[in-house]
Chain A
Amino acid sequence: MTSLKVNINGVDFKNPVIAASGTFGFGEEYSEYFDVSRIGGISSKGLTINPKAGNEGRRLHEVTGGLINSIGLQNPGIDEFIELEIPKMRSLNTVILANMGGGTMDDYLAGASKLDKADVDIIELNISCPNVKSGGMAFGIKSCVAHEVVSEVRKVTKKPLMVKLSPNAEDIVEMAVKCREAGADSLSLVNTFKAMAIDINKRKPVFRNIFAGLSGACIKPMALRMTYEVAGAVDIPVIGMGGIMNAEDAIEFIMAGATAVQVGSANFVKPDIMLDIIDGMEAFMKREGIKSIDEIRGIARG
């Protein structure tokens, strides 16, 4: 029997394919199109302590092999998430990761305390959103700042704490090590790359904030490299993402050392693409006579 099961920080996943934050809503939107319970887990839209309207102006721009987004963490706030979204997410029968962003240390602490008491399996601490001015990514650039926020959040929650890293960090390996020292139970990476686009007809940047976040197939080689580096530097589970479009991409991340993967922008290409990825991974394992995903984790590291 081939098994795709994985365990991350004591939480059982039926397979290692998780919907990435911000690309899958709260899961309900896609449940019309396919059996969402088949995927390993769902990371919620990035949540903040207070509801957030997000950014003005254009929010999306397509590029070769991906897109740039400037959503700006639009979300209903943690209270509404707990009251209205968690029960619906639970009924989707898969693991729930609450992705949480923040503007200030106090926001992070207040949010984490609330989520600690909520019915979520894992808190994914987003210190890497490039689309909000105060905080967000600022916490994810310098590893000493990240260390501080992760250690403080660690004190207010007993839930598994996954910290989501930014590819824009000064030094992603040092960042990973510091987050681990500060008490992270697992790491996920990468968030979007800081990028931009210019509207040549209007002769100005496409986005109001000028810079926004790049994701999709075009970032995969860089995301894979970072996953490889980080998986070699820490002894906690690493969840890789960035441009995963098919089973082969997902297997590459596992072979680089990732325990599981997240799939984001690919959901826009085909709504049930995660099922193709799961089925494709299983088919590969069968073909190669691999019984458990543990057998290939990190195998490319030699």
Chain B
Amino acid sequence: MSSKYLKAKVASNEKIAEGIYRMVVEGDYSANPGQFYMLRAWGVEPFLSRPISIHGITDAGIEFLYEVRGTGTEIFSKLKAGDELELLGPVGNGFDLETIKGKVAVVVGGIGIAPMYEVMKHIKDSTVDFYAGFRDEVYSVDYMKEYADNVIISTESGSVGHKGYVVEQLDASKYDYILSCGPTPMMKVVKEMGEKVGTPVYVSLESHMACGVGACLGCTCNTKKGKERVCKEGPVFLGEDVSLDD
């Protein structure tokens, strides 16, 4: 899969929940589910591009789901149809969907839901239970239902579904594979639950990035093989191979 640096136009950019946006960018894309792009919609300031996962690829273009956290994502949130944006990618490894089969649990926290739409679309001949945890407002889940056999929601506020953390709903022993994306403390619990019962857990990590292509070594994490680059060898790692300690 060859990666490119390109300019493209925003087709739409909608607010779907408080601080959460879904943006569609025009063009013809192909990628491995779980890969991401380095996005930029400004000149030299802010200095770095922002890594954002592929949420979905359709005939209309590519979709990103993002949360406004600071300067860069704030700028993204103001983009309108027709505005230009630069994309570098797809980058990263993505999920190994040849291996991931059988009874699969997808466990996400908050904006960790972003990469999983495209991932679930590509899990074939399997049953997929989708576990999603939010602080209060629930988003994008209806979208996911299309590809999930079961949807299990938790909210910390108790506004929807189980009141508490998403992991409290999970029995790791019921699954052949677990895929997880979300806050590191959450993924750490999922990883440990999997390890206890021998279920392989794949985690999709976040790290501060500059180049996004493996050149600067700024995004590394600790793995069994030593330091590996989240942008190149990752962002998807087998839980047991990677350290989620700070």
Tell me the A residues contacting B by CB distance below 8 Å. 22-25, 29-30, 32-34, 45, 53-54, 56-67, 69, 71, 74, 216-217, 245, 265, 267-272
Partner of B5, one of A33, A65, A66: A33
- B214, CB-defined interface residue at 8 Å: yes
Nearest CB in chain A: distance from B75 CB, A:
14
Partner of A59, one of B3, B5, B215, B220: B220
Contacts A29-B213, A60-B209; A272 near B218 (Cβ below 8 A):
no
Q: Which of B12-20, B40-48, B52-60, B195-203 contacts A (4 or more CB under 8 A)?
A: B40-48
A66 to B209, CA, bound (A): 13
Q: Which single residue of chain A is at the shortest CB-CB distance from B226?
A: A53
CB distance A269 to B216 under 8 Å? no
Given A30-B215, A32-B213, 19 additional A-B pairs, CB 8 A: A22-B216, A24-B215, A30-B213, A33-B88, A60-B48, A60-B209, A60-B210, A60-B216, A61-B208, A62-B47, A63-B47, A69-B216, A69-B218, A74-B217, A74-B220, A74-B227, A245-B44, A268-B49, A271-B88
CB distance B219 to A59 under 8 Å? yes
Partner of B44, one of A54, A59, A61, A217: A217
The majority secondary structure among interface residues of chain A is: loop
Q: Which single residue of chain A is at the shortest CB-CB distance from B213?
A: A29
A62 to B46, CA, bound (A): 8
CB distance B218 to A33 under 8 Å? no
Q: Which residues of A contact B4 (CB under 8 A)?
A: 33
Q: Which residues of A contact B45 (CB under 8 A)?
A: 64-65
CB distance B227 to A53 under 8 Å? yes
Partner of A269, one of B44, B213, B246: B44
CB distance B218 to A60 under 8 Å? yes
- B211, CB-defined interface residue at 8 Å: yes
A264 to B86, CA, bound (A): 20
Q: Which residues of B contact A24 (CB under 8 A)?
A: 215
Nearest CB in chain A: distance from B235 CB, A:
15
Tell me the B residues contacting A by CB distance below 8 Å. 2-5, 40, 44-49, 86, 88, 208-211, 213-220, 222, 226-227, 232, 246
18 contacts between A and B (CB under 8 A): A24-B215, A29-B213, A30-B213, A30-B215, A32-B3, A33-B3, A33-B5, A34-B5, A60-B208, A60-B209, A64-B45, A69-B216, A265-B210, A268-B47, A268-B49, A269-B44, A271-B5, A271-B88
Nearest CB in chain A: distance from B52 CB, A:
16
CB distance B47 to A216 under 8 Å? yes
Q: Which residues of B contact A58 (CB under 8 A)?
A: 208
Nearest CB in chain B: distance from A100 CB, A:
17
CB distance B47 to A217 under 8 Å? yes
Q: Which residues of A contact B2 (CB under 8 A)?
A: 32
Nearest CB in chain A: distance from B74 CB, A:
14
CB distance A59 to B218 under 8 Å? yes
CB distance B88 to A59 under 8 Å? no
Name the residue among B2, B46, B222 with the largest chain A CB count within 10 angstroms: B46
Partner of B227, one of A54, A63, A64, A69: A54
Contacts A33-B4, A74-B220; A65 near B47 (Cβ below 8 A):
yes
Nearest CB in chain A: distance from B216 CB, A:
6
Nearest CB in chain B: distance from A108 CB, A:
22
Q: Which single residue of chain A is at the shortest CB-CB distance from B208?
A: A60
Partner of B210, one of A33, A67, A272: A67
A44 to B209, CA, bound (A): 20
Nearest CB in chain A: distance from B91 CB, A:
10
Contacts A54-B220, A60-B210; A29 near B215 (Cβ below 8 A):
yes
A67 to B226, CA, bound (A): 25
Q: Which single residue of chain A is at the shortest CB-CB distance from B245?
A: A56
CB distance A62 to B48 under 8 Å? yes
Nearest CB in chain B: distance from A266 CB, A:
8
Q: Which residues of A contact B40 (CB under 8 A)?
A: 269
Nearest CB in chain B: distance from A126 CB, A:
15
Contacts A33-B213, A57-B246; A71 near B48 (Cβ below 8 A):
no
Q: Which single residue of chain B is at the shortest CB-CB distance from A71?
A: B217
Q: Which single residue of chain B is at the shortest CB-CB distance from A74?
A: B217
Q: Which single residue of chain B is at the shortest CB-CB distance from A264?
A: B216
Q: Which residues of A contact B213 (CB under 8 A)?
A: 25, 29-30, 32-33, 271
Contacts A33-B4, A268-B48; A60 near B219 (Cβ below 8 A):
yes
Nearest CB in chain A: distance from B118 CB, A:
22
Q: Which 7 residue pairs across A and B have the least CB separation, nearest first? A: A25-B215, A60-B218, A29-B215, A60-B208, A268-B210, A29-B214, A29-B213
A270 to B210, CA, bound (A): 11
A216 to B216, CA, bound (A): 14
